[in-house]
Structure 1
Amino acid sequence: MKQMKTDQIPLFVPDIVALGCEICAVGDFGCVIGDADLSLHRLEAIQPQLRRLDQTYGCRRHLKRQIIAYLNSVGRYVDPAEDSPVMPRH
């Protein structure tokens, strides 16, 4: 299976955001893609595009720490220590 490269992270994040999905780091231990926040109609419409991005970039599990660091560096993070974390809107 194809694997994402470190230098593709800054390309991957805006590609996800362009589909209307928020992507944020959760502290220093995880990250989420907010496709669950979309309406069912919108989610069904972008599913083929999400699959295409998966094919384009490949597996990214091995880059989890680097993706989290990148998301934190560009202000796309949720602090789980806050009472009511809110994903940033860019």
Structure 2
Amino acid sequence: MQASEIPAFVDEIIQAGCDICAVGHDAYVLGDVEEMVDAEIELQRIDEAYGDRDFLKLEIVAYLRSLGRYLDVGSTATHWIESQKPN
């Protein structure tokens, strides 16, 4: 995977039904495990299409944070949508 593919990767993960979000400034999760069971085949396809992305973890996290899809460590929010600031 290349850094330029991060937006497409994130979009495909979301389209697969996973609620991807950053956790803090150095990690991200694909979403609820129960949701991912239904998307398992699609996630395998995405994983094969994009390949290794471990070295881009911080860039993926930064992109997710730029979209407002993040939870900060220690936050009382239970879902990333609660982290979004009102305009």
TM-score by length of 1: 0.81
List gaps (5 residues or longer) in structure 1. Answer: none
The 3-state SS of whatever aligns with 2:80 is: coil
Relative contact order higher in (CA < 8 Å, ≥ 6 apart): 1
Is it true that 1:59 corresponds to 2:52 in the alignment?
yes
The alpha carbon displacement at 1:35 in A equals 4.4
For 1:53 and 1:76, locate their aligned partners in 2 and report how far apart those are by CA, in whole Å. 20
For 2:54 and 2:69, locate their aligned partners in 1 and report how far apart those are by CA, in whole Å. 19
Identity across the alignment (%): 40
Q: Show the 5 A alignment for 1:1-90.
A: 4-38=1-35, 43=37, 45-88=38-81
When the two chains are superposed, the root-mean-square deviation of aligned CA atoms in Å is: 1.8
- How many aligned positions are there? 82
- The 8 Å contact of residues 24 and 31 in structure 1, kept in 2 or not, is answered as yes
